[in-house]
Amino acid sequence: MQGDIDKLSETTPLALELERLLGKLDPDGSKRAANPGSLVLQRAWENCAGKQIADITRNLTLRKTELIVSVSTPIWAQELSLLSEDYRAKLNSALAETLPAIGKTPIQTLTFRVRNQ
C-alpha cells in the first residue's frame, strides 16, 4: 500500500484518497457505510476539537477543499469560526499523518453553519 501512496501527487484530493484507502481495506464494500470518508473525518475532528466540541457539532461535509461543520446555534457558529484556523491546522496535520498522499493542506476552508432544527 505504501507504494500506491508514493505514486500519488501531493495534491490528491482528500475525498479521492479516502475512497482509495477504504477500497483497499474493504474491496467488496461489504463493511462500508454510505459515506465511508465521513467516518475518517469525524474521528479526525473528534481528536482535534475534543469531545466537548465534537459533541455539539454534526454532519461534517467535505466539498472539494472546504469542510462544513453543522452546529446547533448561531453563537456556537460564531465562537468556533473564531477558532477555525486553529482547528483547520490541527485537522490538516492529523489527516496528513494518516493519509500522507493528500498533501499538507487538504482542507483549505473550515466553515461552521447552523443546522436546521
Number of domains in the chain: 1
Residue pLDDT, tens place only, 93-110: 888 887 766 667 788 999
Position with higher pLDDT, 67 vs 13: 67
What are phi and psi for residue 10, nearest 5 degrees? Answer: -65, -15
The pTM is what?
Answer: 0.66
Residue 1 pLDDT > 60: no
Q: Residue 16: beta bridge partners?
A: none
- Nearest-angstrom CA–CA distance, 81 and 106: 18
DSSP annotation of 30 = T
Domain limits for position 22? 2-114
Residue pLDDT, tens place only, 46-103: 999 999 999 999 888 888 889 999 999 999 999 999 999 999 999 988 888 877 666 6
Place of cell 469525524: 42
- Nearest-angstrom CA–CA distance, 1 and 85: 32
